[in-house]
């Protein structure tokens, strides 16, 4: 399903969303625009499953999430690449690299954002942007350790505020996230050389530590 709304109108809508003065018509336009990503999303999900992978995701980012992203920066609504998206959690970086290669070979129009060597506020992972009929769908490809780190970041944002995900806020929380991010990079950097059993033990130990921190935060928040 495609909307008749032009790119200029989409960006004008985005500016109104950024400003916060929303009419009922604005909300209807945004909902209509969000639904235009459904066909591209379903095409991506179907193709990814053809690689014997099972993605999780959503056909459209929520209205509050879209508004929050617009207000954090200067991005235009028509430029937003993650309105539709899915996620793949992979065992290790070697498998992650194979999946990324498979995805870029599978689709005609892709863009890869690799945040492993240059993490974004501690976040490591690879995002493959697939464009189908002028609609972008983001595929997040994370290792198990990268994913559990992202879960910790999300839980911390629930406790101390969403700014923590963007490198702002409580210094102790930022230090914790940075420390775990560096440990993940160090351990995953050994995957070509370390003994498999020793590497597995190191990964499991770190994963357990991060999951324990998440459980403690969940107990603190009651959920």
pLDDT of residue 5 exceeding 90, the answer is: no
- Structural domain including 185 reads 145-221
When pLDDT is averaged across residues 40-53 and rounded to a whole number, the result is 96
Residue 194, pLDDT score = 80
Average pLDDT over residues 60-67: 92
Same domain, 139 and 153: no
Pair (125, 158) in one structural domain: no
Q: Which of 74-83's residues contact partners 24+ apart within 8 Å by CB, and which partners?
A: 76/10, 76/11, 76/14, 77/10, 77/11, 77/13, 77/14, 77/17, 77/33, 78/7, 78/10, 78/11, 78/14, 80/136, 81/111, 81/129, 81/136, 81/138, 82/127, 82/136, 82/138, 83/34, 83/37, 83/136
Q: What is the pLDDT of residue 195?
A: 87
**Does residue 1 sit within a domain?**
no
* Same domain for 149 and 138: no
* 62 lies in some domain: yes
For residue range 108-134, what is the model confidence (pLDDT) as tens digits? 999 999 999 899 999 999 999 999 999
Check whether 2 has a pLDDT greater than 60: no
Question: Per mean pLDDT, which range of 92-96, 100-104, 219-223 is the poorest?
Answer: 219-223
Indicate if the pLDDT at residue 223 is higher than 70. Answer: no
Q: Give mean pLDDT, residues 154-181.
A: 93
Q: Are residue 47 and residue 152 in the same domain, yes or no?
A: no
pTM as predicted: 0.92
Instruction: Examine the pLDDT at 86 and tell me if it is beyond 80.
Output: yes
């Amino acid at each position: 399903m495609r909307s008749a709304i032009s790119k200029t109108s989409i960006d004008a809508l985005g500016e109104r969303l950024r400003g916060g003065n929303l009419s009922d018509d604005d909300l209807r336009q945004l909902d209509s625009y969000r639904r235009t990503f459904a066909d591209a999303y379903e095409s991506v999900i179907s193709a990814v499953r053809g690689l014997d992978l099972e993605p999780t995701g959503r056909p459209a980012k929520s209205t509050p999430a879209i508004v929050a992203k617009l207000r954090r920066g200067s991005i235009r609504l028509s430029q937003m690449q993650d309105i539709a998206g899915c996620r793949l959690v992979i065992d290790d970086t070697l498998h992650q690299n194979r999946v990324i290669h498979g995805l870029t070979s599978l689709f005609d129009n892709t863009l890869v954002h690799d945040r492993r060597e240059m993490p974004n506020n501690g976040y490591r992972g690879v995002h493959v942007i697939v464009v189908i009929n002028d609609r972008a769908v983001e595929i997040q490809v994370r290792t198990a350790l990268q994913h559990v780190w992202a879960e910790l970041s999300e839980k911390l944002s629930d406790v101390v505020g969403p700014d923590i995900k963007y490198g702002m806020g409580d210094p102790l929380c930022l230090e914790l996230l940075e420390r775990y991010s560096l440990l993940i990079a160090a351990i995953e950097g050994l995957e070509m050389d370390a003994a498999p059993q020793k590497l597995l033990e190191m990964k499991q130990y770190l994963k357990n530590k991060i999951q324990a921190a998440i459980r403690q935060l969940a107990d603190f928040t009651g959920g």
